[in-house]
Amino acid sequence: MTRPWSETNDGLLLTVRLTPKGGQDKIDGIITDTYGRPAIKARVSAAPVDGAANAALIKLLAKELHTPKSTIRLESGETARIKRLSVRGDAATLSSSLQKILKY
């Protein structure tokens, strides 16, 4: 299976499928869409109103990756379920953390 993230010069670029109003803030693993593209499956309890779900996703990723929220940026998918986020930092360390979180 292909990883739902790629290394960049200054960190990682993640593909995430977000479910807002999902009951709790949690990363649920990796899914594959109908086109065979992998994504990190995440859910947050926040509603998709005024960017609250996106903010909750960034907070969740920061907590799980042990990195400041300021290092995570929403690159695309502001109003879509599939989102692309960049995470600044050491790519190898971030990738290793994701592998542990996702049991990949």
Structural domain that includes position 10 = 5-98
Domain total of the chain: 1
Is 84 within a domain?
Answer: yes
Is 103 within a domain?
Answer: no
Q: Which of 43, 29, 26, 35 is nearest to 81 (CA)?
A: 43
CA-to-CA distance for 85 and 64, rounded, in angstroms?
14
Is 67 within a domain?
Answer: yes
pTM: 0.94
Q: Which of 56, 71, 62 is nearest to 22 (CA)?
A: 56
Is 24 within a domain?
Answer: yes
3-state secondary structure of 22: coil
Residue 26: predicted pLDDT: 97
Residue 2: predicted pLDDT: 86
Residues in the chain with pLDDT values less than 70:
1
Q: What are phi and psi of 71, to 5 degrees?
A: -90, -5
Residue 104: predicted pLDDT: 78
* pLDDT tens track for 42-65: 999 999 999 999 999 999 999 999
CA-to-CA distance for 40 and 37, rounded, in angstroms?
10
The CATH number given to whatever domain includes residue 37 is 3.30.1200.10
CA-to-CA distance for 57 and 55, rounded, in angstroms?
5
